[in-house]
Structure 1
């Protein structure tokens, strides 16, 4: 059995693993999709149907992407880190074409959107998901919707190094977090709302509004000033623990016990939990943390809703240009200084609710997409990628619109 950790040892472990890869330039992405039966799109695929589809992925994908499953049966396609934006887009597109074909063979389609209007249902019952479900039940029914009915584009970029310019981890953390609300609004694709006979509020990104309101510390934004590794370490220590592993002694699968209400990792390390804290407990806890920008060795952007069809390319390209082109990063930092103060939790709520309808957010988003388009040319991506981003900008961002604004609001509760 591994030795118990002290608070200082756990803090050191978190700090060292937060933003630990001293490099820039690589791009990866995780695409989540709703799996919809072609014969009846209002029905959720059963566990047996998903298992049949999953068996088709015993054969590797052409670009070595991996397929996994979220609690409500959402399919997640994850890429490896690629040495350039273009190689990432090419590899994911090749794998996605195969994934879609295999789904069609099973009579199912992959649908892109941030929020599923169907009633939530758990069709992938892993112990970790059940632990999360018990934990989120503290906030009412929103937890089931969050786990089963949301999908996103998660973008993974290198964390940077100790320098002070565009390659530095502090600059990259600043750009990611300060521009996060504008990115969320630009790609909002989970409209919620009801007819005039209802009183519930509407939102452009119902997915992100739900996330922000369900355990606001675990899902909410972090400060973007100072050393991001120290910021992340404090946040991880002070966030509640979802569950505690029970030792396996009889060959049964890994078991999880609910953590006592309000038990933070720091309190557990100080003796408030049922047993000592071990290194694997810290790693499991870190996997449960889901702020808009996540420090998991690299930077993970989690504020972007899943997009229609092949529009997933656009947020990947925009974010990569902002972060990995020196001139664009410098311009983004200047934009933050001039127009984007430290976003508060309420600023994120407003951006999720109003999206591109908020004049200040729309102005920042328009500037961001123009910067990104110039940066993509310097990154030497293909004309097809630049055209895809340009068409999205003309259709949405430069008109003050997001994908959510071109769709009817869905009757999905987010409060």
Structure 2
């Protein structure tokens, strides 16, 4: 999660809220790709989680990485909780359970994204090895209980931890024990945003199935291929889900803004202080009648920060965030960006992707979303196995990337990054299924080998 926005420009009308989303529109020539991924740190000697404090803790890791990269520390109440890269150059942040996140810079192609990732992982390794820290490439910590997982000293997380148990059973698991990979994509207009939102919402469960990689919890199989994805189904119904209204006639910035207005707030940030207003209405903040902060009125930063506290399968800010995938290794991180860029950045591919999903009803999409965490590519929609749908979606993405014709120094276009996903579809087995087979076979019913096998 990147650092919170700071813009004190007052917001007084609903139209200004809507215009904030529209300000994200870009000409197609300026479309970029922003990749974010989380990775779970552990001590290599004993496979235990890494606390914040201590000579070998997360604080020390951030300080080491800051020295490696020259990036500036991000502070919260005197604690270093992230690193800011050069202007427009990405950021490092820590998630509530210590998950280490790179929010990548906006880059022109997947080749640049892969290079950025390689450089980040190399720098992180140099910072982590002296501390005896490694990183899992799984979508959920496989061994530690929720209670055994350290909690990071970040003000907004304290507010969220207090609120989450009031609205769902698994919100704290989401915060403390899961890890994802996301790609952020641009849109040229409201109509372009709507098409991309609908296609990516409909296909997000396909991505969940392709990237399923969280089959272990508390030291044993948990009955799911993507437990991370299942956890989101019982986190907070007000701010998660498949956004069925995005398929309604007339959907656009206005409808999304109205939905966001109805989502309860977490906090209001003034200066360096996070004020706990969990459950309050953004409408009351705009009107100056927020009970916790009488007379305080909304600013641009309040709206931007509120937009970052909703977690649907696809999130609209001034770009679109794809949120359905478990994290995997470097090849899978690049593959996630390739999948969505191939589908969404070429007009012919985007039209073909819409043709693939346009006949699905809201109930069919919801049923698919509910089945995928357990069944993966063996779930179905519209009478079709998701493995077959995924194969078709990948073929469309490949044509879209080939049409972009962005080549690296060896003359390869971006379609090369789809190969790990094509291998998964060809084999009919996700990484989660491979790991479960390891557990039953060479791992001898222990998750400890994951700390050697499933690492960056």
**TM score, norm. by length of structure 1:** 0.84
1:243 pairs with 247, 267, 270, which one? 267
- What secondary structure is seen at the aligned counterpart in 1 of 2:321? strand
Contact 1:186-1:402 at 8 Å conserved across structures = yes
SS in 2 for 1:322: helix
User: Aligned in 2, Cα 1:379/1:160: closer, same or farther, shift over 3 Å?
Assistant: same
Contact 1:181–1:361, Cα closer than 8 Å, also in 2: no
| CA contact 1:34–1:74 (8 Å) conserved in 2 | yes
Matching residue within 23, 26, 38 for 1:22:
26
In 2, distance between residues paired with 1:159 and 1:26? Answer: 10
1:81, distance to aligned residue in structure 2 (A) = 0.4
Task: Quote the Cα distance in structure 1 between the aligned partners of 2:253 and 2:139.
Answer: 29
Alignment partner of 1:110 is 2:135: yes
**1:329 alignment counterpart:** 350
Residues 307/4 of structure 1: CA separation in 2 closer, same or farther (3 Å cut): same
- Aligned-partner Cα distance in 1 for 2:393–2:223: 25
**Aligned-pair distance for 1:367?**
1.0
2:276 equivalent to 1:257:
yes
Shift in Å at residue 373 of structure 1? 2.2
Whole-angstrom distance in 2 between the partners of 1:207 and 1:240 = 23
In structure 2, the residue matched to 1:341 is 361
Q: How many residues align?
A: 393
Q: Secondary structure at the match of 2:358?
A: helix
Match status 1:150 vs 2:143: no
Structure 1 spans left out of the alignment, 5+ residues: none
Distance in 2, Cα, partners of 1:3 & 1:58: 31
Q: Following TM superposition, by how much is the alpha carbon of 1:388 offset from its aligned partner in structure 2, in angstroms? A: 4.3
* Structure 2 counterpart of 1:176: 200
Distance 1:269 1:370 in 2: 47
Q: Deviations over 1:160-194 (max 9, x none)?
A: 225x5xxx222212211121121122212112579
Segment of structure 1 superposing worse, 265-274 or 48-57: 265-274
Partner of 1:160: 188
In the TM superposition, residue 46 of structure 1 has moved relative to its aligned partner by 4.3
Q: Give 1:385 shift.
A: 5.3
Q: 5+ residue gaps in structure 2?
A: 1-6, 71-84, 440-444, 448-456
| 8 Å CA contact 1:187, 1:403 repeated in 2 | yes
Pairing partner for 1:12 from 10, 15, 27: 15
Distance (Å, rounded) in 2 between the aligned partners of 1:265 and 1:103: 41
Which structure has greater strand proportion?
2
TM-aligned CA distance change 1:75 to 1:170, over 3 Å:
same
Partner of 2:161: 133
Q: 2:40 aligns with which of 34, 37, 40?
A: 34
Q: How far did 1:402 drift?
A: 2.1
8 Å contact kept, 2:33–2:106: yes
Question: 1:369 aligned to 394, 401, 410, which one?
Answer: 394
Q: Which fold has the larger relative contact order, with Cα–Cα distance below 8 Å and residues 6 or more apart in sequence?
A: 1
Partner of 1:73: 98
Residues 167 and 235 of structure 2 are in contact (CA less than 8 Å); yes or no, is this contact kept in structure 1? yes
Aligned to 2:80: none
Residue 192 to residue 105, structure 1, CA distance change in 2 (3 Å): closer
Contact 1:194 1:202 in 2 (8 A): no
Distance 1:95 1:44, change over 3 A: closer
* Aligned mates of 1:95, 1:172 — CA distance in 2: 29
Q: Given that residues 49 and 150 in structure 2 are in contact (C-alpha distance below 8 angstroms), is that contact kept between their aligned partners in structure 1?
A: no
Q: Give the structure 1 partner of residue 3 of structure 2.
A: none
Counterpart secondary structure, 2:102: strand
CA contact (8 A) 1:66 1:77 kept: yes
Q: Aligned-pair RMSD on alpha carbons?
A: 3.1
> In the TM superposition, what is the alpha-carbon distance from 1:139 to its structure 2 partner?
4.1
Mapped to 2, the partners of 1:2 and 1:28 lie a distance apart of: 26
Return the TM-score normalized by structure 2.
0.77
**What is residue 451 of structure 2 aligned with on the other side?**
none
Aligned: 1:186 with 2:210 = yes
C-alpha distance in structure 2 between counterparts of 1:152 and 1:132, whole Å: 18
Distance in 2 (CA, whole Å) between partners of 1:14 and 1:179 is 28
